[in-house]
Chain A
Amino acid sequence: MSTLEALQAAQEPIKALYLTWLIEKTLDLAELERLHAAATVAGHRHWLATVPVYRKLAESMGAAGWDDPPQIRSELASTDDLFKTWSDEWLDTGNFEALTGWLNQVCGTGIDLGGEKITRLEAWLEALSAAGVQVTYSSGTSGHFSFVPRDEMTQLALVEGAVAQLGQLREDLGFELSDTHACLLSFRGGYQGMAHAAARLGELAASQTFLFDFPLNADLLRVAVRGPRTDDQRAALEDFRARTAGAREQNFTRVIDALVGPTAAKRPVFVYGTPFQVLDLCRVLEARAQSLKLPAGSALLLGGGWKSFEGEKVPREDLVARVEALLGIPAARSLEAYGMSEMNVQMPRCGHGRFHVPPVVWPMVYDEALRPQATGRGRFGFSDPFAASYPGLFISGDEVELTKDACPCGRPGFSISGEVKRAAGAEMKGCGGVMASVRA
């Protein structure tokens, strides 16, 4: 049996547990722990065999032969910087061969893009997609993108997870995405995580409107975040801004106008966006003294967090109340999920404010010395055996309170209670120190 086959064999019983957890709201935690222990070892062996950086790390620690799941999770989990370990020099000089070489170090698929000369980031992402590796990215605030590569098997796990969760929504809320009009406060596609998800959701809906009616271009986004360096980039950025922030009123007008038909036809509307974009929609409606009564069955899904709009952040309760007042979507139908781009599943928020961890991942919190703990407060981390193309052992940059205490909502298993916040960096106590964005 190959390492991949062994990993797939370890995944199957976890999938079954996941569906039981999702549909029947039951979970045998002891069984889950046993299955994940086996899956962690299977994952370790597969990543060791296929992912060069993982192999290098393991060998430098003498960890190649390990078969103790807690030890593997403790010593071999990567931080969310794994997918940022490429060099800006390569993109600045158009060295896409080097970027592909790097991807082959962090991803176990052995990608070969042939001899075609690639000169743009978007073209590189398209070529990878054509070669069977779906790479999505997140921009962060530094302009140094995080590229997450998924082979077909990992991509399938991601899609299956999303479909299962949507299926559960149907049960819980009587919500059928294929019957709705999707109001997608994002771009019409692109490889950026949120835009990519918006496009996929749009495909599943009966009709759809995007706030930005064009795909998000990776090259342009990088220029926008890092600042233009040539006249061509300056002109392109100006055009991009004219179509986004500069066309705010027109874009929202188009989105709002598109809600009239479904409302008249009593077709539910599915609103999806980051908290900031949803807030911005509310602000536009408030400025126009306009409120909409979207049909019964409509719902909102918040994703992505506030990120670079942290300064605009309003309490969730305020945002949900404004959505109820301005869009007519009841608070109980304002949904939210917590996740990260490296994860192949989202953690839905229940009515009691907890984010429930689907059993497809084994969650942990890492303490001050970055040692994993079963529960308590610390950096959120997880073991994800459904990551076949990259090592599915991660430590995030978020600080959470992880618990397996029963939730009043009845959903069993691990959950995150209270506020999710960015883990604090070490305090600079003196003259020696490095600013966060410095590269050398």
Chain B
Amino acid sequence: MNDLAGFLREHRLLEADAEGMVRIPFLVKGQLRLPRETCRHELEAALAKSNGSYAALAGLQVVREAVLDRATLKPDGAYQYLVMPAVDPLELIETDAAVVADALAALPVEEALAFAGRVGEQLGPEQPLYERMAPLVRRTSDTPDAWLELALGGMSIAASPAALKAQLDLELGYGKLPGGRFLDGWVPFEGPRDPGHTTVLGVGVHGDAPPVSTARAIRALPTRQLHITAGNSPVIPLVSCLRALATKSASVVKIPSGALVAGGALALALHFAGRRCALARHTSAVYWPGGNAAVEDVLFHPAAFDRIVVWGAPDAVESVNRRAKGVKVLSFHPRYAVSMIGREALGSGRLGDTVRAGVADALVWNQKACIASLVHYVETDLEGARAYAKALAVELGAWQRTYPNPLLDPTIAKLRRARRGPWLAAEWFPVGNALVPEAAVVVAEGDVSLSEHPMSRVIVVRPVAHLEDAVQRLTKVVSQVGVAPEPRRQALRTSIAARGVSAVLPLGEADTTFAGMPHDNLRPLSELVSWAVG
């Protein structure tokens, strides 16, 4: 059936029924798996026996999410029951790796990218999938509407074949050759070759050396990939999946608990993007609760996948590394960003622009993204830091009026803990409610623990005598640094990047990207393919 809208209606997928139940499909090697029929009573009974938010039943899984009031982002008392099929891990594994390799290696890149583009189209605004997915995502997301709408609307753009092609060409580029060519076939290598030690030694045996053939070529081959994705944005499962599609690879995408609806929509989009493409038959999108040994012991078997991508904390990555011995693991850890403001950027004629740029860098994905700035190192004394903080608070107030930031209880708790614990000695400049501010600037003279950073429009300002002093504090847990003014960025960027920071950008441009931009110090597509010489 090609009528997606009709299919959604017929199977009542991605819509909340009168009891709050939402049926979420999975995709297993191109085949849709639909949840069996159930009732709220059965789900409640199972949840009552578990932790209350997840339960496994015969042939089913259910996740219960609190529905939030969009104005306050507080639970409105209702729940959404996401009903999903059970997962059989053995079904997900490509047992005949050779067949998959032959089928996918032969697939033209253009066809793979066109398939990805059709996936994106299905998820585009005003499409039936979007019309069902977006309202459900909004019901439980703790991200303010303005950010959420941009993310949902951007899903189809992320899958643009032109952008993916540019990404491939840059990330897999070899010498001056565009990367896509290496996925399409063997590309001759024309540089000098070392004859090898045995050839030299062979002269001692035979008196002469055999001729060295001239034919050498390089190729990037598809792999079998497991993508364990994170749920702070509905876009991340799609982004990770697109990397698999762009590299023409067989993949299993683990949908994160925070993006089950978007993950179900992805499963449908993949299915309806066209089953003739070989990728459609070798792509899966499923959910299981992280740490479920019955599933993960199978999927982490060293023979099951060639690559495992993990978006998660180091302990999760370590667990995968320990169990999937010999499999190449790409990990994207939680990180945070900082800003560095040189004294030249604080002058009376420039302070306004600096503050505007500094706040913009802090508010990427409402400060929940790894590239959102949490700390501003400012080259000034304590008085100067206070003045800068006051200006930041005014700018945050302007954002607050335009884009309100209702606080969830866990965020309120973090704010309270930070203010009355690790940052008690610091000076607070609250925005809005003095007791529980919707945003705040915190001036800290000494170093502070970031473990309680609320990541909710809170900027820590640290005065430093020289920006170079702040550079000494950077490690690989910092994703990127925004620097002002530009000459200081130019002067500091090597020193900053040498400490493991992924990007050193002009202040105010934290979320500017380009296709093929390295991610967490890697070119992921290059890591996901298997490079071969033949």
Interfacial residues, chain A to chain B (CB-CB below 8 A)? 53, 56-57, 60-62, 75-82, 84-90, 98, 102, 105-106, 144, 366-370, 395, 425-426, 428-440
Contacts and interface: CB of A to CB of B under 8 A. Distances in A.
B108 interface: no
A75 B414 contact: no
Contacts of B434: 60-62
B451 A434 contact: yes
B368 interface: yes
Interface string B460-474: 101000000000010
Nearest to A95: B446
B321 interface: no
A81 B311 contact: no
B236 A430 contact: yes
B409 A440 contact: no
B413 A369 contact: yes
A306 to B, nearest CB: 19
A102 B425 contact: yes
Nearest to B423: A85
Given A81-B422, A102-B425, 5 more contacts: A106-B425, A428-B334, A429-B231, A434-B477, A438-B451
B370 interface: yes
B336 interface: yes
B452 interface: yes
B505 to A, nearest CB: 17
A365 B500 CA distance: 42
Contacts of B372: 432
Contact of A431 (B335, B414, B424): B335
B247 interface: no
B449 A429 contact: no
A60 B419 CA distance: 10
Interface residues of B, number: 58
Contact of B427 (A56, A367, A430, A432): A56
A188 B50 CA distance: 48
A106 B425 CA distance: 8
A79 B416 CA distance: 9
23 contacts: A57-B424, A60-B428, A60-B434, A62-B434, A79-B417, A81-B422, A82-B424, A84-B422, A85-B422, A106-B424, A106-B425, A366-B413, A395-B417, A425-B451, A428-B334, A429-B231, A430-B232, A430-B370, A431-B332, A431-B335, A432-B336, A438-B451, A440-B448
Interface in B426-466: 427-428, 430, 434-435, 446-453, 455, 460, 462
B334 A430 contact: yes
B159 interface: no
B302 interface: no
A368 B410 contact: yes
Contacts of B455: 432-434
B230 interface: yes
Contacts of B374: 434, 440
A85 B423 CA distance: 7
Contact of A436 (B236, B367, B451): B451
Contacts of A105: 425
A81 B419 contact: no
Given A430-B334, A431-B311, A439 B420 contact: no
A81 B426 CA distance: 13
Given A105-B425, A438-B450, A439-B448, A433 B231 contact: no
A440 B460 contact: yes
B496 to A, nearest CB: 14
A88 B460 CA distance: 18
A425 to B, nearest CB: 8
Contacts of A429: 230-232, 256, 258
B412 interface: yes
A63 to B, nearest CB: 8
A377 B120 CA distance: 46
Nearest to A77: B420
B284 interface: no
Interface in B329-366: 332-336, 338, 365
Contact of B334 (A90, A369, A433): A433
B421 A79 contact: yes
B59 interface: no
A109 B365 CA distance: 45
Given A87-B447, A89-B446, A431-B332, A61 B232 contact: no
Contacts of A368: 409-410, 413
Contacts of B256: 429
Nearest to B372: A432
Contacts of B409: 367-369
B427 A438 contact: no
B375 interface: yes
A66 to B, nearest CB: 11
A78 B421 contact: yes
A55 to B, nearest CB: 11
B314 interface: yes
Nearest to A54: B424
B197 to A, nearest CB: 43
Contacts of B382: none
Contacts of B336: 432-434
A53 B332 CA distance: 38
B346 to A, nearest CB: 20
A78 B424 contact: yes
Contacts of A62: 434
B312 interface: yes
Contacts of A84: 421-422, 449
Contacts of B446: 86-87, 89-90, 98, 102
Contacts of B233: 430
Contacts of B338: 440
Contacts of A60: 428, 430, 434
A82 B449 contact: no
Given A60-B430, A429-B258, A430-B231, A439 B453 contact: no
A371 B451 CA distance: 20
Nearest to A435: B477
B334 A431 contact: yes
